[in-house]
Amino acid sequence: MATRILLTALLAALFLPSALARADNPRLVASVGRNDSFAISLSDASGSPVTHLDPGTYDIEVHDLSEMHNFHLYGPSVQQATAVGNKEDVVWTLTLADGKYGFDCTAHPTLMKGWFTVGQVAATQFGASVGPKRTISLKPKTAQVGPATITVNDRSRGDNFHLTGPGVNKKTGVTFRGRVTWNVTLQPGIYSYRSDKHKSLRGSLIVTLPF
Ligand SMILES: [Cu+2]
């Protein structure tokens, strides 16, 4: 009995410190190039894709599974990457602050990429207008991914303002006049805006990853 208690205490002493150390920082898992595929991901401990994190220090377990690809993470105070030419398993302990972070494969950044926000991120402010004559506009014309607030001034009874793109499809009424505000999350890609009444009234917005 005494031996068993001693053994239990010994095991606890052996394993507790490492268990506590592991519990210190939340763990994230980055993976790139499984079976040489063009797949890249960053997940939380439960396996869900990371879209938003609290500011703080994280242990990021990186599995670079391919010699063709790498995992590159960047954002406020962070610039970290595995090498493209080799496979690598590594843990990065990184402190993430308020802002937008992106990740990609340095060799294929347009095909293999992702992003997330940390803490408080200010919404990009857009001004949109249509009318009173045959005019339509949206400013700025380029922006980064993330939260955005779009204030639409619809000054036309014969045209509307209709914005479409990744995850967004919003419009004012054709006969409506007035001011509306939309809160949206912009994803990488091309958004277009138009009047549903006059096809010549249109334009586009390009949304890029941070930096
Ligand atoms: Cu790649």
pLDDT score, position 122: 96
The amino acid at residue 162 is: H
106 CA → ligand 1 middle, Å: 6
108 CA → ligand 1 middle, Å: 4
Q: Give me the chain's average pLDDT, please.
A: 92
119 CA → ligand 1 middle, Å: 29
The amino acid at residue 209 is: L
Q: If you average pLDDT over residues 138-161, what whole number do you get?
A: 97
For residue 82, what are the CA distances in angstroms to 38, 67, 210?
A: 16, 10, 20
97 CA → ligand 1 middle, Å: 27
45 CA → ligand 1 middle, Å: 24
Burial of residue 211, with CB atoms counted within 10 A of its CB: 0-12 exposed, 13-18 middle, 19 or more buried = exposed
Contacts of 110 (CB under 8 A, 6+ apart): none
- What are φ and ψ of residue 190, in 5° steps? -110, 125
The answer to whether 70 and 90 are in contact (CB under 8 A) is no
33 CA → ligand 1 middle, Å: 7
Above 90 in pLDDT, residue 5? Answer: no
Q: CA–CA separation, 175 vs 8, rounded Å? A: 77
Q: CA–CA separation, 72 vs 70, rounded Å? A: 6
Burial of residue 35, with CB atoms counted within 10 A of its CB: 0-12 exposed, 13-18 middle, 19 or more buried = exposed
pLDDT score, position 11: 47
What are the pLDDT digits (tens) for 79-128? 999 999 999 999 999 999 999 999 999 999 999 999 999 999 999 999 99
pLDDT score, position 22: 52
Q: Give residue for tokens 């590159």.
A: 72
Q: CA–CA separation, 173 vs 160, rounded Å? A: 6
Q: CA–CA separation, 159 vs 196, rounded Å? A: 7
Give me the long-range contacts of 52-56 (CB less than 8 A, separation at least 24).
52/116, 52/117, 52/118, 53/96, 53/116, 53/117, 53/118, 53/119, 54/118, 54/119, 55/96, 55/97, 55/98, 55/118, 55/119, 56/25, 56/26, 56/95, 56/96
What are the pLDDT digits (tens) for 34-69? 999 999 999 999 999 999 999 999 999 999 999 999
Q: CA–CA separation, 1 vs 75, rounded Å? A: 55
pLDDT score, position 79: 97
Q: Give residue for tokens 């398993």.
A: 89
Q: How does residue 10 score in pLDDT terms, banded at 50, 70 and 90? A: very low
Above 70 in pLDDT, residue 19? Answer: no
62 CA → ligand 1 middle, Å: 15
